[in-house]
Amino acid sequence: MLVAFEASGLIRFALLLILWPIIRLLDVLGMEDAALKLTIFVAVAGVRKSEIESVSRAVLPKFYMDDIDMEAWRVFSSYDKRIVVTKTLSVMVERFVKEHLRADEVIGSELVVNRFGFATGFVKNEIGSVGDRVAMLFRDEQPSLGVGRPTSSSSFFSLCKEQSHPPFLTNQRHNHELLRPLPVIFHDGRLVKRPTPSTALLILLWIPLGILLATIRILIGLILPMWAVPYVSRLFGGKVIVKGKPPPPVSGSNTGVLFVCTHRTLMDPVVLSSVLKRKIPAVTYSISRLSEILSPIPTVRLTRIRHVDAEKIKLELTKGDLVVCPEGTTCREPFLLRFSALFAELTDRIVPVAMNYRVGFFHATTARGWKSLDPIFFFMNPRPIYEVTFLNQLPVEATCSSGKSPHDVANYVQRILAATLGFECTNFTRKDKYRVLAGNDGIVSYTPFIDRFKKLVSTFKPLYS
């Protein structure tokens, strides 16, 4: 269901849900292989293999990680050579089990792909059984332990010296850090919850109402004055939890206050403005033009050229308060990316603000999809909740005025914001995120139309040559 939704769209997602009773019936009748093959065919037939790989890289690891049995992981990780056997498509699990579970090899179903790179939906008939393929990987050695359900994994259990089935109970004392799988810090996709049949049906039924609700919520932000937005938004399910004491508007000063926020969604500066009940401009890097049009607050687009951006921020601070998110991009998990030190060089009037949010159905950020839909997906959630925690303005001795370097100030602000939210600090940057999720540096070059057309023609040239 995740691959169908993220790689193809809502129609295939709905079709797979409609066929779920048939798939379930085949499963009950003992035709598990037929049920799985039907599921695979409906989910991926006609989809580019590269798109399936993209979903497997960016979307699935989060859901796989949520399913990890830590006791089973402790057993699995205690051995030097580790093989994962699965009936599902190896292309879906290979990246996760190799990078996060540190497996050596994956044995799974192989997808048939035509010469144009599209999945046919069929599965290759591998030569030899699963047991034979496992034996080939171990050569003359005998696997020490087979871990899994006896009904689904018995084909290779006979090769192993020992067998282990759930529930897994380990009494051995291990180093906790060594036994943790590599965490999923970056992930993409729109769905928050696993699309089980009941959840998928609820999502499909909610989408028309969600679009209507999102339209109303956006119009509220565009039409009403900022002081009225918090009161009216509550009538339509929105909620903002404020902690700490917001600073009053600055008067009689040459420069405004720089609010330094954690970056969870594009809504961070908008929510902050609604809490303060006044429109505060926000600096942005690469948000879509539609998001700028829909924004109820002024936005200042930066260029990523350091001296140019510094002058822009200085100019805005002379006009009043300003919001900046020094991570440069959003992160969904409880981690903070490395803070850019530029903000620390430009002012000593710094107020850290810890932002966090909770949504039920749809994520409000994307690296692979259409960024212009980010605010719409946020407002489509039945009850989006934001938490805003104001910290005290940095004392002079914690700023560059006291001789501290900009990097020291930025790292200090990152640490106190992470401690407030219970998050972890990292050295990952925007480029790291986009390399993991989209395979690029996150900088989009707008190719002229004629170049795009030539690329499209060259892609389909084998069809008519």
Residues 54 and 147 in one domain: yes
Contacts 24+ apart (CB under 8 A), 404-411: 405/341, 406/341, 406/342, 406/344, 406/345, 407/341, 407/344, 409/341, 409/344, 409/350, 410/326, 410/339, 410/340, 410/341, 410/343, 410/344, 411/339
Residues 209 and 174 in one domain: no
Burial of 270 (0-12, 13-18, 19+ CB in 10 A): buried
More confident residue, 375 or 156: 375
> Is residue 87 included in any domain, yes or no?
yes
> Is residue 118 included in any domain, yes or no?
yes
pLDDT given for residue 79 in this prediction: 86
Residues 117 and 237 in one domain: no
Cα–Cα distance, 254 to 70 (Å, whole number): 56
pLDDT given for residue 172 in this prediction: 53
**201-231 exposure pattern, b = at least 16 Cβ within 10 A, e = fewer:** ebbeebeeebeebbeebbebbeeeebeebbe
Is pTM beyond 0.95? Reply is no
Domain count, the chain: 2
> Is residue 458 included in any domain, yes or no?
no
More confident residue, 364 or 180: 364
Instruction: Reply yes or no on whether the pLDDT at 250 is more than 90.
Output: no
**Domain CATH number, residue 107:** 3.40.50
Out of 148, 179, 210, pick the residue that ends a domain: 179
Residues 287 and 339 in one domain: yes
Residues 229 and 274 in one domain: yes
> Is residue 293 included in any domain, yes or no?
yes
Domain limits for position 381 = 197-437
pLDDT given for residue 20 in this prediction: 95
pLDDT given for residue 24 in this prediction: 94
More confident residue, 97 or 165: 97
Cα–Cα distance, 429 to 414 (Å, whole number): 13
Q: Dump pLDDT digits (tens) for 185-215.
A: 999 999 999 999 999 999 999 999 999 999 9
Residues 276 and 361 in one domain: yes
Mean pLDDT, range 427-453, rounded to an integer: 69
Look over the chain and give the mean of its residue pLDDT values, rounded to a whole number: 86
Mean pLDDT, range 303-326, rounded to an integer: 90
Residues 240 and 99 in one domain: no
Instruction: Reply yes or no on whether the pLDDT at 335 is more than 90.
Output: yes
Residues 321 and 219 in one domain: yes
Residues 7 and 35 in one domain: yes
pLDDT given for residue 33 in this prediction: 87
Instruction: Reply yes or no on whether the pLDDT at 460 is more than 50.
Output: no
Q: Dump pLDDT digits (tens) for 386-412.
A: 999 999 999 989 998 888 999 999 999
**Domain CATH number, residue 213:** 3.40.1130
SS3 string, 92-124, reads HHHHHHHHCCCCCEEEEECEEECCCCEEEEEEC
Residues 152 and 239 in one domain: no
